[in-house]
Amino acid sequence: MNKNLRKAVIAGNWKMNKTRPEAKALLEAIIPLVANAKDKIEVIACVPFTNLETAVAVTAGSNIKVGAENVHFEKSGAYTGEISADMLSEVGAEYVVVGHSERRQYFGETDETVNKRTKAALAGGLKPIVCVGELLAEREANITEEVISRQIKLDLADISAEDVKKAIIAYEPVWAIGTGKTATADQAQEVCAFIRATLAKLYDNATADAVTIQYGGSMNAKNCAELLSKPDVDGGLIGGASLKAEDFNVIVQAAVEG
C-alpha cells in the first residue's frame, strides 16, 4: 500500500458555527496561511448551508475548496428543510460530509440513509466524505472492526469502484469527536488500514490504494503530526480546531510535511 498514490486531504467541519460575516473573516484569515499547500494537499472547508455562497465567493482563486455538511438523497420534492445535491453543486460546493456521527446520533441517520445520501452526492457531482466510527462501548467490547466493516459495506453498497475513488472515508471514533480524547496514532492507523483492507476485499487493491482515508476526532495542532505521519492516515476531518485559523493551518502544514 503506497501513501504517495494519494493526495492528503485536510477538511474542516465547522458544524453549526459561524454567521456569514464570521465565516468570511475566518476564511480570509486561513487563505494566506495555507496558500503554500497548493498542489501538495487538498484543503477543504465544510460549512453550514447558509455560508456556502459566501465561502465559495471568498475562496475563489485560492486553494481552498468548499463542502457542505449534509445532503438529502432525493433530487427535489416535498422534503421540508432539506437540501439536494444539485442545489449544493449549483452554489459551488464540491464536497459534502455524509453520515457524520452527530447526524447518526441526533438526526436518526442510518447506514441505509448514509448510502442513499452518498449515492445522491456522487450522482450530483459532489465528492462525499463518508464518516464511519465506533462508539466507546463498541471499542470496549472489542467489536470495532465488526462495526467498521458493517458500516463500510452498507454505506458503500452498490457504489462502483470508479465512484468510490471519488469518495473520502473519514474514520471518526465517536468517543473522540469533540471530547478532547484522541485515538492514539497507532489506533488511528490500525483502523484506517483495516478500512483499506475492507475496500480491497469489496473492490480490489488498486481501488483501495486510491481512496483517501482521513482520521477525525479531536485532531489538533499538538497531535496532528504524529497522526498524519501514519501510512494509512491520508488526512484529517477537523471539527473544533478548524474554527481557529492558526490551529487549522498547523494541521495543514503537518499534512504538507507528510
Q: Is 218 in the site for ligand PEP (CB under 6 A)?
A: yes
Grid-cell match 445532503, residue found: 71
d(CA 253, CA 37): 7
Active site residue 72: no
d(CA 257, CA 10): 13
d(CA 108, CA 81): 15
- For the bound state, the minimum distance from the C-beta of residue 146 to ligand PEP, rounded and expressed in Å, comes to 22
Q: Which of 240, 245, 247, 249 binds ligand PEP (CB under 6 A)?
A: 240
171-210 footprint of ligand PEP as x/- string (CB under 6 A): -x----xx--------------------------------
d(CA 249, CA 221): 8
- For the bound state, the minimum distance from the C-beta of residue 190 to ligand PEP, rounded and expressed in Å, comes to 18
Active site residue 257: no
Query: CB neighbours (10 Å) of residue 60?
Result: 10
- Of 169 and 238, which CB lies nearer to ligand PEP in the complex structure? 238
Q: Three-state DSSP class for 73? A: coil
User: Which residues contribute to the site for ligand PEP (CB under 6 A)?
Assistant: 13, 15, 172, 177-178, 216-219, 237-241
* Residues designated catalytic: 100, 172
